[in-house]
């Protein structure tokens, strides 16, 4: 492996240490190399905390002057929640900076590199850029399209069912798969389900990675008519994250009042045929600084989300079980697509095994 790639791989590993704690900021890791030795490492650990470059400078075991900084994202050049990192790098006397990718944020893109070059610092960009873009795919969409990144997650049997004909769904997938889902919940800003899921399962929608209390995502319930019971767990549990009800003007005034008294945030988004406007919902979530949504809806909401074109990635867990039943629910329902040539496809596929289950992951291709 080429030297720059070797060190950049370590920067990407460090960046992943901020999963679920930096939203809506990017995941960034940095290290400083001098005389062939790593003398400092750091990552952006939490929103509002020190950026990776500054953390590495503070953690240095010796003088960094003349050293090479490796970072997976272009150092920022503007004042945000923290001062510019490029400025700190210049003051520290770093002689070379190796960067995986330019910052897609229009406030920064190219400006950090320009600042470093103007200060006489050698810069190299594009090292492991593909890996860096994949790591920060949530941030990239959030700052360029001003929408949260949406991941559709489903667990189904080998014959494509998400529950028996009688509605039993505990448990389709195994423990390993379920723990992976809790890890996902711990990383995203929000989790979204339809009201039918609440009525059927009364889920808490919390994150418990490794069986421990995690970073609970904001719970979003899509409920066009306000059918959600007031005693639902998503309304009454003590999770730190709040609950948003995405509804329409069809909700009764009395029910709206009760929900508001419970601390639920209501977003009224009238869409076609009395349904919630899902594209409008994404715009509202962006305004609330929610950069990512894990969609764990039933077949109806999943179908609506795909039809609206809001899903970026699909993660489908397949368990080696067969239950049958013409009335058993499937992951994507609705009217469906008429011709096979028009079927939505997944690109950039990856397949991972969790005990007996298989996870197929890929990006939705709408065209």
The phi-psi region of residue 120 (left if phi > 0; otherwise alpha if psi is between -120 and 50; otherwise beta) is: left
The CB density around residue 97, as the number of other CB atoms within 10 Å, is 27
| 357 HSE (CA, 13 A, CB side) | 24
What DSSP character marks residue 106?
T
The CB density around residue 322, as the number of other CB atoms within 10 Å, is 10
17 marked ligand binding residue: no
185 marked ligand binding residue: yes
76 marked ligand binding residue: yes
Q: Cα(188)–Cα(259) distance, rounded to whole angstroms?
A: 25
List the beta strands (DSSP E) in the chain: 29-34, 37-43, 68-73, 96-101, 122-125, 149-157, 190-194, 218-222, 243-247, 265-268, 292-295, 313-319, 345-354, 357-365
Helix axes 85-92, 52-59, angle to 10 degrees: 30
302 marked ligand binding residue: yes
DSSP states of 16-55: GGGTTTSTTSPP-EEEEEETTEEEEEEE--STTS--HHHH
What DSSP character marks residue 147?
S
Q: Is 279 a catalytic residue?
A: no
304 marked ligand binding residue: yes
154 marked ligand binding residue: no
Options 5, 41, 53, 356, the catalytic residue: 53
341 marked ligand binding residue: no
43 marked ligand binding residue: no
Q: Cα(30)–Cα(36) distance, rounded to whole angstroms?
A: 16
126 marked ligand binding residue: no
19 marked ligand binding residue: no
327 marked ligand binding residue: no
208 marked ligand binding residue: yes
CA proximity to 75, closest of 121, 36, 35, 34? 121
Q: Cα(355)–Cα(352) distance, rounded to whole angstroms?
A: 10
Helices marked H in 290-349:
299-308
201 marked ligand binding residue: yes
205 marked ligand binding residue: yes
Binding-site residue ranges for NADP(+)? 155, 169, 171, 197, 201, 224, 298-304
Binding-site residue ranges for substrate? 185, 205, 208, 296
Binding-site residue ranges? 51, 76, 85, 155, 169, 171, 185, 197, 201, 205, 208, 224, 296, 298-304
Residues with catalytic function = 53
């Amino acid at each position: 492996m080429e030297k720059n790639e070797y060190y950049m791989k370590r920067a990407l590993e460090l960046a992943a240490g901020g999963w679920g704690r930096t939203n809506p900021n990017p995941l960034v890791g940095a290290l400083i190399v001098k005389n062939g030795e790593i003398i400092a490492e750091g990552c952006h650990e939490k929103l509002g905390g020190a950026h990776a470059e500054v953390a590495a400078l503070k953690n240095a075991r010796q003088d960094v002057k003349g050293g090479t900084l490796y970072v997976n994202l272009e150092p920022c050049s503007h004042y945000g929640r923290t001062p510019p990192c490029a400025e700190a790098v210049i003051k520290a006397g770093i002689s070379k900076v190796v960067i995986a990718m330019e910052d897609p944020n229009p406030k920064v893109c190219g400006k950090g590199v320009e600042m470093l070059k103007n200060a006489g610092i050698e810069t190299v960009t594009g090292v492991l850029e593909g890996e860096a873009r994949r790591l920060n795919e949530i941030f990239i969409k959030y700052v360029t399209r001003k929408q949260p990144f949406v991941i559709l997650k489903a667990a189904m049997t080998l014959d494509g069912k998400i529950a028996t004909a009688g509605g039993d769904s505990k448990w389709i997938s195994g423990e390993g798969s379920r723990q992976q889902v809790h890890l996902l919940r711990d990383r995203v800003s929000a989790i979204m389900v339809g009201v039918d899921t609440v009525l059927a399962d009364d889920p808490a929608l919390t994150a418990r990675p490794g069986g421990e209390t995690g970073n609970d995502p904001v719970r979003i319930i899509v409920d066009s008519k306000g059918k959600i019971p007031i005693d639902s767990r998503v309304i009454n549990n003590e999770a730190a994250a709040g609950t948003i009800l995405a509804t329409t003007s069809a909700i009764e005034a009395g029910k709206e009042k009760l929900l508001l008294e419970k601390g639920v945030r209501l977003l009224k988004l009238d869409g076609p045929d009395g349904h919630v406007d899902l594209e409008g919902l994404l715009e509202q979530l962006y305004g609330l600084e929610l950069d990512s949504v894990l969609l764990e809806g039933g077949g109806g909401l999943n179908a609506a989300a795909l039809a609206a074109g809001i899903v970026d990635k699909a993660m489908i867990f397949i368990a080696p079980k067969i239950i049958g039943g013409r009335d058993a629910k499937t992951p994507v329902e609705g009217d469906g697509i008429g011709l096979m040539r028009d079927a939505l496809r997944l690109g950039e596929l990856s397949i991972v095994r969790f005990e007996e289950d298989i996870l197929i992951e890929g990006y939705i291709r709408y065209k």
